[in-house]
Structure 1
Amino acid sequence: MIEFGDDIREVFLQPGGFHFGGGRTRISTLLGSCISITLWHPARLVGGMCHFMLPSRGQSAGAALDGRYADEALVLFDREVAKAGSRPGDYQVKVFGGGNMLTRADDSSELMDIAARNVESAYALLARHGYRPAALAHCGGKGHRKLIFDLWTGHVWLAHRPLGSVA
């Protein structure tokens, strides 16, 4: 149980951000069409979050891994999971985001739905890397999300504001 006065490390992820760790760490981010994936190991009390913007950048041979891209964010997770001496199947996995932020006034179909491509790639990459997402996810729709993830409990809090809603 967290008591008032306990030190909590706050980590805010910008787009492309990635954090993996443990202890009293709270990770938060804001999402539009981007996706955040959370991983949490309930026995070891470690986990992480990514905030990716696009499925892939294509050819990146020799370049440093970049968390702005889903395929590279999953490689970053794989590295941290291996360092923790665990396996992808040991983690509780949740997926958030992919809100359509580019709705046209006439609400007709989009020319390029980046949000839907991000959601699709997240699930495909998770499966390819051996992660099993929980049934709990909050993806798609319209609008933005605020996400808060506490690594000491694995709890994730979500606030969703659909486009056009009043503050």
Structure 2
Amino acid sequence: MSNLFKLFVSQLNLLKEKGTLQSVVNKDGDSSEIDPNHEMKIYQEVLYNMDSKKIYLDSSLSLVKLSSMVGTNTTYLSNSINKNFGCNFKTLINRYRVEYCKTMLGSNPLSVPIKEIARNCGFSSVSAFYASFKKLTGISPVQYRMLMIYRNELNKVDPGSDAESY
């Protein structure tokens, strides 16, 4: 057992030398609390992955998967999301997915089924999509689509009206 431990320690030291192992201990030496600089880096990485890479469209996205992408552990990632976004991981992902779905519902013709839009937005089931959409917008996806069609028609008649106010 001690040989295995020595091997582990030597590999850790090698990672530290290469700079691939990053310490995230705060200034007081307490490893239970994340360093504010590291937390900001996590936040920026989450924003980049969500806004630029649109990783929320992956229906198999998980906290573990995102923490690997961001380069941190799940505890630090979860704490950073809670603090900086004011919600948990699941709610954050669903917010991004619903916003993306709103653009899809407003721009796709009625011939595109809502379940196809839900799947393209990263939801693994239609029921999860409907529940999240209604929770975050207050109306169902069908109602939202009809509202967007109605507003688009109004804009054709009165180009001065604001279809994006919803």
Query: Which structure: larger Rg?
Result: 2
* Structure (1 or 2) with the greater helix fraction: 2
Question: Structures share a fold, TM > 0.5?
Answer: no
* Structure (1 or 2) with the greater strand fraction: 1
**TM-score between both structures, scaled by the size of structure 1:** 0.29
**TM-score between both structures, scaled by the size of structure 2:** 0.29
Q: Which has the higher contact order (CA 8 A, sep 6+)?
A: 1
